[in-house]
Structure 1
């Protein structure tokens, strides 16, 4: 997803406050995650019926296929919000249940044994307090849109609300016939009921997706399918008054699908729907059903800083590419725990940059990466924490430049160290092994090590599991006999970063480059050279760093 948009002084104050909270959390709290232990879901069948004004669910039934992971399981402990549950069935037989503290505990008639398959049916109704956002769009028309990150889907779908609990999902959505519905997966059918003035849509996503990526969207939309040669249909659903902007605003979508398919693997789903509506984020990458902010079209024709290729705001091009990159990284390959969120957000950030590099040119890509470095360096002044963050308690506080911009820069540094051939071979191998499943930072390291033949343990240890970045300082001295000594110091307060660094020596006769391989925070080499006019660190901008005099 694209992070929360900070657009007003009040919002900027709130964001600063969140950063402060994040610092306190890192120092004093340990995050506990609910992982898959006793049971796991394999499929959801969610049927929801809306009232005339899209203000509540008049009825809802969720059927969950689960498999137990250990023996003697007596209770299936679902995450579920405050909507009242009227009944629960286990294998079509009534079951006792208790609803409390955003939990739904279902008592089994007899203990389930390991690998036993069960079918749960939960019936409920009401107005969800979060997750399924019932609101009014810019045209004053009711909408209902799923917005679940990080763990808010349980407010309207009973589930195990953690990204690792991936499952296939079928949605059956009934709403007034003058609305349009869309959901994850391919539309299997749409049936009107003229007598009751409603329609029922059925969508089915066969590939396993994380609970937070399971969404529906219902509204009075301007809809259409993007023109162009695409491996899958790409459609849009936007407020009626903004339909005139949609084709151009989403013009990077098909090129993004093609770019990422060429770099990684074929697009993982059978369709892509692009929706503008209620979300807390600039964009939310729900599997094949992306939702963009209600502000997506603001100043669309007049905003400065425009894409040369698409003639749209650069921010629009960025968020389009970012959310589409998530279809591979975050949606198909999902982080095993929140500590590895960078495998989603860092990847989407970097691959949005790769889209710019391929479609706008290397200069635009460099500008993008410089901006990302600046964002991270400003953040790091307020809070020092590792990318692999097991301590931040509030999940929304993980939406920070460590996981986005620094994560993207880690990938850029790995690409610079390993070279394009080995780097992208490793990324393709990582994706192929973990698609439709979950992954860790160690899984990524293993794939890149196998592709490159390099030991990356120390790199991952320093950049992923520890905080900070190198702060470089160079000096040189005349060593006699037409030589100079070049000294590279690292002045950051913590331990050294040991990856090789290119140094460019500029003299009256030209330029030469040498590679310095730090073993500690101070490294010196002797080079045949006239006295230099300048000594430049990392001239190709392949290292996330600061340089001081």
Structure 2
């Protein structure tokens, strides 16, 4: 999920409660050059916004982003009008020397949720969604060399609405059918984000931290679990990294179906908030972004924050549940990469944020694997020391991959330049081959090869099964081939290379059964519609949603997407000499989705629905199941799903009978 930046600092009392000494940056943060003092009147149901912004600005020509629907009513300094120009969504002011505080007064009608399809400023009867940098206020984050502003925001909304913004809650009052609150941010974090809704607000103090859930009607029962998990997550991450850098954390229900992290706040779609995976994975991910991405801002050289947060939150939560769940998550990342066409691969240093599935596979999955390999390379203690050092040195500042590398080098007391360079600056991944494996008494003679444009320097995990149990070894592979003799305590029965998917690599045949992304990610995918009338229209719309890129024409070796109604799909499969719907899926649900890889052919994805309504119901949910091999839908609900069984791994060899 995309994350903006960060917010105020936890007081010393909170740091002591969390068992962490206040960091050096608590006393040394710089005061931003730009400061907003905002007086906001917002009526979500009417769609109106009125703002008076008293802002301190350096002299010169200043450009801002401001939504075209908002009318500039005044731009002045010391009571005198300032030269101002509007050009669509751009506002340009000329600020004279010695102008002091500038007043910008503006207002108008905001987009409603029915018209606003992107994640931008929008309002409606269910509330208001006004993220920073969306143009609802004059955006100044880039006006002083990239240093974000400080700000104070006073907001009024009519009953039954309440409002919440990023920043520290200074005060709030309900009176005469109006809710009024004041928020502030004294450090350079980011422009304020503002939300409103007809919420029930549940609060819990966690030491000195204010935890809140702003829930729409009917969501009150969710508060206990959400606030419990938030408190535990903050304590755990603070103990591992450093003091929590905010005064609290708010979970805010918003109308659009999103999951977004902001400084000290996460905005979750009203329909998303009750889903189990949000509590099981997404919430802790957003809490951790308060250190990575919001706390230490992403600087030049690529976005490291999503991969680090994915590894320390999502992957760590899976490992805590069961080591097998962590292994399964790493295998998912490698399956995703196996589905990524070579022309859509990219370097980690090119990743800025998720714009499509292909960028997520690299920026989240590959980056998370980098940190998993780094932890194995330097050891758990040095890895955690590197995290603490990176946070202490760069909190409330921008930092990049180079700063991360230096922090881990300091902690590990060794040069890691080669390790980082091979994973950050190169496209692609190594492919391993088990060239030879034979038992020699209580030992295994092993030869490994790697395929890559240039050999990677790898520490390859190897598991040797014996009658006394499984032994773990590592084989150093720094060139195209390496051989070693691995001594064992008992007679070796079998050997497996990288059994837990600890290396970022290309999966071998049998390790990667076909999944939806094998087809949806390929820009050369051929689309075949097997339907007529309304069903054909629904099928074409679904194909457009599924194919992540511009679909090409059918050709030899091209993946194919076949989508349509049951009878027409069956006829199309038979006409092409392809197998029918798998027996395990036949006759189930309103729609069935499955992948296949015909012998010697390209992957095939089939979507078969009972009628136009069954296909239409898949428009929103199906694109989110790219890691699956098959699914059964009842309407828009995935009633069953799974991944086809893996075949025999080419990296496993039986050496002897038990």
* TM more than 0.5: yes
Inter-CA distance 536–460: structure 2 relative to 1 (3 Å threshold): same
Q: Which moved more, 1:202-211 or 1:424-433?
A: 202-211
Inter-CA distance 286–478: structure 2 relative to 1 (3 Å threshold): closer
Partner of 1:127: 109
Per-residue CA deviations over 1:449-481 (Å, capped at 9, x if unaligned) read 111012111221111122222221112256989
CA distance, structure 2, for counterparts of residue 480 and residue 271 of structure 1: 61
3-state DSSP class of the match of 2:350?
coil
Partner of 2:54: 63
What is the root-mean-square deviation of aligned Cα atoms in Å? Answer: 3.3
Matched ranges for 1:253-332 at <5 A:
253-279=230-256, 281=258, 283-297=259-273, 300=275, 313-332=276-295
Partner of 2:506: 546
- Report the CA distance between 1:204 and its aligned residue: 1.3
Partner of 2:460: 501
- Report the CA distance between 1:441 and its aligned residue: 0.7
Inter-CA distance 448–316: structure 2 relative to 1 (3 Å threshold): same
Partner of 1:340: 302
Please, what TM-score do these two structures have when normalized by structure 2?
Answer: 0.65
CA distance, structure 2, for counterparts of residue 320 and residue 413 of structure 1: 25
3-state DSSP class of the match of 1:204?
strand
Per-residue CA deviations over 1:13-40 (Å, capped at 9, x if unaligned) read xxxxxxxxxxxxxxxxxxxxxxxxxxx7
Partner of 2:540: none
Check conservation: 1:75, 1:106, Cα contact below 8 A.
yes
Q: Which moved more, 1:118-127 or 1:269-278?
A: 118-127
Q: Which moved more, 1:76-85 or 1:216-225?
A: 76-85
Pairing partner for 1:465 from 425, 436, 440: 425
- Report the CA distance between 1:133 and its aligned residue: 3.6
CA distance, structure 2, for counterparts of residue 404 and residue 479 of structure 1: 39
Pairing partner for 1:448 from 408, 412, 416: 408
Partner of 1:215: 193
Partner of 2:436: 476
Q: Which moved more, 1:323-332 or 1:93-102?
A: 93-102
Per-residue CA deviations over 1:33-64 (Å, capped at 9, x if unaligned) read xxxxxxx754332221123724011x212233
Inter-CA distance 353–132: structure 2 relative to 1 (3 Å threshold): closer
Q: Which moved more, 1:288-297 or 1:252-261?
A: 288-297
Check conservation: 2:203, 2:211, Cα contact below 8 A.
yes
- Report the CA distance between 1:254 and its aligned residue: 1.3
Check conservation: 1:164, 1:210, Cα contact below 8 A.
no
CA distance, structure 2, for counterparts of residue 360 and residue 474 of structure 1: 32
- Report the CA distance between 1:220 and its aligned residue: 0.8
Please, what TM-score do these two structures have when normalized by structure 1?
Answer: 0.76
Higher relative contact order, structure no. (Cα contacts within 8 Å, ≥ 6 residues apart): 1
CA distance, structure 1, for counterparts of residue 78 and residue 330 of structure 2: 53
3-state DSSP class of the match of 1:320?
helix
CA distance, structure 2, for counterparts of residue 177 and residue 41 of structure 1: 36
CA distance, structure 1, for counterparts of residue 286 and residue 185 of structure 2: 18
Check conservation: 1:333, 1:435, Cα contact below 8 A.
yes
- Report the CA distance between 1:107 and its aligned residue: 1.5
CA distance, structure 2, for counterparts of residue 344 and residue 45 of structure 1: 30
CA distance, structure 2, for counterparts of residue 480 and residue 244 of structure 1: 63
- Report the CA distance between 1:395 and its aligned residue: 5.5
* Structure 2 residue 450 is matched with structure 1 residue 490: yes
Check conservation: 2:257, 2:271, Cα contact below 8 A.
no
3-state DSSP class of the match of 1:224?
strand
CA distance, structure 2, for counterparts of residue 252 and residue 479 of structure 1: 50
Per-residue CA deviations over 1:321-349 (Å, capped at 9, x if unaligned) read 11111111111111014x522x2211221
Gaps of 5+ in 2: 4-31, 509-649, 651-658
3-state DSSP class of the match of 1:207?
coil
Inter-CA distance 476–91: structure 2 relative to 1 (3 Å threshold): farther
Pairing partner for 2:74 from 87, 92, 108: 87
Partner of 2:135: 154
The count of residues paired between Structure 1 and Structure 2 equals 472
- Report the CA distance between 1:361 and its aligned residue: 4.5
Check conservation: 1:478, 1:531, Cα contact below 8 A.
no
* Structure 2 residue 375 is matched with structure 1 residue 415: yes
Check conservation: 1:80, 1:155, Cα contact below 8 A.
yes
Partner of 2:60: 74
Select the structure of larger CA radius of gyration: 2
- Report the CA distance between 1:351 and its aligned residue: 1.9
Gaps of 5+ in 1: 4-39, 68-72, 301-312
